[in-house]
Amino acid sequence: MSKDAFARVSDFLSLSIQIFMVLKNTENEIFTALETLIKVPKQKVTLVTHENPDGDAIGSAIGFGEVLKNYGHEVKIIVPNSYPEFLKWFSTDIEILVYDRKKNRGKAILQETQILFCLDFNEVKRTARMEKKVLEFSGVKVLIDHHPYPTDFCDLMISETEYSSTAELVFDVIQLINLGEYINHDAAEALFTGIMTDTGSFAHNISRPNTFQVVAKLMDLGIDTEKIHAAVYHNFSAHRMKLLGHCLGEKMEVFPEYRSAVMWLSQKELEKFEYQPGDTEGFVNYPLSINNIVFSALFIEKKDHVKVSFRSKGNFACNEFARDHFSGGGHKNAAGGETNLSLEAAVEKFTQLLGDYKHLLLETTI
Ligand code: 5GP
Ligand code: MN
């Protein structure tokens, strides 16, 4: 073997060993099966994300989609509903179909799809209006996700909760199925966005060096991380900034005795500030910047329900709180849910519950 070939083989082996050390749940055979499946040329592949897609959902879908497209597949992305403007700057020619706007087209795409990737969600109900179609899908379904408690609705499951983001996991999966050479600049920008947004710009959700190792490899592909950061975070409309001011100034209640804070916004208030999808993204994090606050909730009145976001610090598991009281779930420190109660009743239910959690909240270490 030439020196160069030897170096490449040993690079690959050390990378594989490194990745297998961080992939805890997924058997080797799953990757062999996925590689065999994906290496059949020119297939129709669709990537689907959860409802209200965030940076990780969109970034993972575009990042993986680009790689599959570069390999020669016919790739489409379907999102259940629309996504924010600050995620619409990606350079990609992959069609991103918003299912609740073009149901018939979405159904036709699914009908023709041979492989369906489910990205960044752990239960099919998270695809909202698409749930039935995803369940009925007759081709091969593959899950790639990092949320705890995955349900069994896919043929191949890659569920790794140690990962900061689905995008970080997608990067390693791409290596393990030997498609690393197909990661182009567009894919690298998208995957970086997924990691950046799910970690709050590298502030949380990072438990292992692998996150930064993946970021380093993405930077090797020539991405401009400052440009991406600005595209996502420095493009508030004036209305959105004023809505944030209103929310923090007028609609935040702090409970130091429970180390918690709650905020809530009605439809009327959202209309007043000319709400656009994604405008309240990240608001729920602000109360965690208050000294000694470990649990934060934001209630948003939607047309027919109330959507809740939770964030926590340390070992207070807000996904369990979301699951037990607001039909939701998510990660230990970032979760969400919903309720059919009125906005006022939902906030009241939350504040009443804090007493039951006083012990856990007070003993949380940060
Ligand atoms: P966000 O507050 O940003 O909407 O969501 C935070 C986290 O909770 C994300 O990981 C998201 O996937 C999860 N999440 C949000 N809403 C729900 C929900 O209604 N059900 C479940 N199971 N997870 C949710
Ligand atoms: Mn995610």
pLDDT digits (tens, 9 = 90+) for 115-155: 999 999 999 999 999 999 999 999 999 999 999 999 999 99
Tokens of 148: 């705890």
Choose among 157, 236, 146, 151: nearest CA to 198. Answer: 146
286 and 259 in a common domain = yes
153 and 131 in a common domain = yes
CA of 272 to the centre of ligand 2 (A): 31
pLDDT at residue 2 greater than cutoff 70:
no
Query: Residue 329 has what pLDDT?
Result: 96
pLDDT grade, residue 26 (50/70/90)? confident
Query: Residue 18 has what pLDDT?
Result: 66
281 and 195 in a common domain = no
Cβ–Cβ under 8 Å, residues 75 and 97: no
Average pLDDT of span 323-339? 97
CA of 50 to the centre of ligand 1 (A): 9
Which of 218, 233, 248 terminates a domain? The answer is 233
pLDDT grade, residue 202 (50/70/90)? very high
What total of structural domains would you count in the chain?
A: 2
The protein residue whose alpha carbon is closest to atom 22 in ligand 1 is 329
Which residues, in sequence order, are CB contacts of 39 under 8 Å at separation 6+? none
- 170-193: b or e for each residue (b if 16 or more CB lie within 10 Å)? bbbbbbbbebeeebbebbbbbbbb
199 and 156 in a common domain = yes
pLDDT grade, residue 15 (50/70/90)? low
Choice from 49, 50, 339 to test ligand 1 binding pocket (greatest atom count within 8 A of CB): 50
Query: Residue 333 has what pLDDT?
Result: 96
Cβ–Cβ under 8 Å, residues 179 and 38: yes
Q: CA 203 to CA 279: how far, in whole Å?
A: 21
248 and 210 in a common domain = no
Which of 171, 198, 233 terminates a domain? The answer is 233
- The 10 Å Cβ neighbour count of residue 226 is 8
CA of 207 to the centre of ligand 2 (A): 15
**Nearest ligand to residue 120 Cα:** 2
**pLDDT per residue as tens digits for the range 226-240:** 999 999 999 999 999
In the chain, DSSP assigns E strands to 44-49, 74-79, 95-98, 115-119, 140-145, 156-159, 252-255, 260-265, 295-301, 306-312, 329-330, 334-339
91 and 78 in a common domain = yes
Which of 233, 267, 299 terminates a domain? The answer is 233
Choice from 124, 147, 161, 169 to test ligand 1 binding pocket (greatest atom count within 8 A of CB): 147
Strand order across the 95-98 sheet: 95-98, 74-79, 44-49, 115-119, 140-145, 156-159
254 and 183 in a common domain = no
Provide the whole-model pTM: 0.93
Q: Which helix (H) or strand (E) holds 299?
A: strand 295-301
Tracing tokens 């400052």 back to the chain, one arrives at 226
The protein residue whose alpha carbon is closest to atom 10 in ligand 1 is 330
CATH of the domain at 52: 3.90.1640.10
79 and 113 in a common domain = yes
Query: Residue 366 has what pLDDT?
Result: 84
**Nearest ligand to residue 308 Cα:** 1
153 and 287 in a common domain = no
Query: Residue 343 has what pLDDT?
Result: 98
CA of 56 to the centre of ligand 2 (A): 5
Which residues, in sequence order, are CB contacts of 231 under 8 Å at separation 6+? 86, 89
pLDDT at residue 87 greater than cutoff 70:
yes
CA of 104 to the centre of ligand 2 (A): 28
149 and 218 in a common domain = yes
Percent of the chain predicted with pLDDT > 90: 92
Query: Residue 6 has what pLDDT?
Result: 60
Choice from 86, 143, 300, 309 to test ligand 1 binding pocket (greatest atom count within 8 A of CB): 309
Choose among 160, 113, 120: nearest CA to 141. Answer: 113
Residues within a 6 A CB radius of ligand 1: 50, 54, 126, 309, 328-331, 334-338
CA of 7 to the centre of ligand 1 (A): 43
CA of 331 to the centre of ligand 2 (A): 9
State the chain's mean pLDDT as an integer: 95
199 and 96 in a common domain = yes
Tokens of 308: 């809740």
350 and 288 in a common domain = yes
**Nearest ligand to residue 56 Cα:** 2
Choice from 56, 58, 79, 126 to test ligand 1 binding pocket (greatest atom count within 8 A of CB): 126
Tokens of 237: 């409309």
Tokens of 70: 């570069």
- Domain range for 204: 3-233
CATH of the domain at 301: 3.10.310.30
